Amino acid sequence: MKIYYHDNDDSADKQLPHETPEEVSAAELQALGVLAFHFDDVASVDALARERHYVSRDEVNISPEAFARGGADAAAYAAKLDTFYAEHLHEDEEIRYIVDGAGYFDVRDRTQARWIRARLERGDLLILPAGIYHRFTLTTDNYVKAMRLFKEEPKWVAYNRPEADANAYRREYLSEIEA
């Protein structure tokens, strides 16, 4: 997994790397409550899921071809990517495991003004804490197969910024990273 500051250039295609030389360590991510892992086997993902009380999962296949197979058109694919890229938070942890392909997860840094980008490839797993602002997109290869893991009561509604600024989970998250 490669982690770096995003160049903040919103005029260029979101699926480009937007890479800067400013790399971010796993420890810096951890200070934001974000945990990064690499598991080559699903048994390790299973163990982590048990440890953190996850009980269900699904697998999404995101690519223009998969959308076409499902009867959706290119506009629907583009709209889906736009939804993933809208800055949002959830009221529960988000665990994503890349089964195949690649994708970018962007999370806000401490200042909440800059984005940190993590490039995830096959075997990479990311845990985002409840309340963190983030967004997701694909690389220009336009293909990812990802496992999404859920706790018993999935709370995977997305709350967009800035409406979510007053959200209780958002406030709790901020107090935790400032502690």
CA separation for the pair 155, 18 (Å, rounded): 30
Length of the chain in terms of residues written: 179
By CB under 6 A, residue 126 contacts ligand KMT: no
Task: Give, for 98, the enclosing helix (H) or strand (E).
Answer: strand 94-108
Q: Which of 119, 148, 151, 161 binds ligand KMT (CB under 6 A)?
A: 148
Q: Which of 103, 123, 129, 131 binds ligand KMT (CB under 6 A)?
A: 103
Torsion angle of the four alpha carbons 51, 129, 84, 138, in this order, in degrees rounded to the nearest 10: -70
Shortest Cβ distance from residue 84 to ligand KMT (Å)?
5
Q: Indicate the residue among 96 and 108 with the shorter CB distance to ligand KMT.
A: 96
- The 52-71 site mask, x for binding ligand KMT (CB under 6 A), equals --------x-----------
Type of residue at 82 = D
Are 122 and 98 contacting, i.e. CB atoms less than 8 angstroms apart?
A: yes
Q: What residues make contact with ligand KMT under the rule CB under 6 A? A: 60, 84, 94, 96, 103, 136, 144, 146, 148
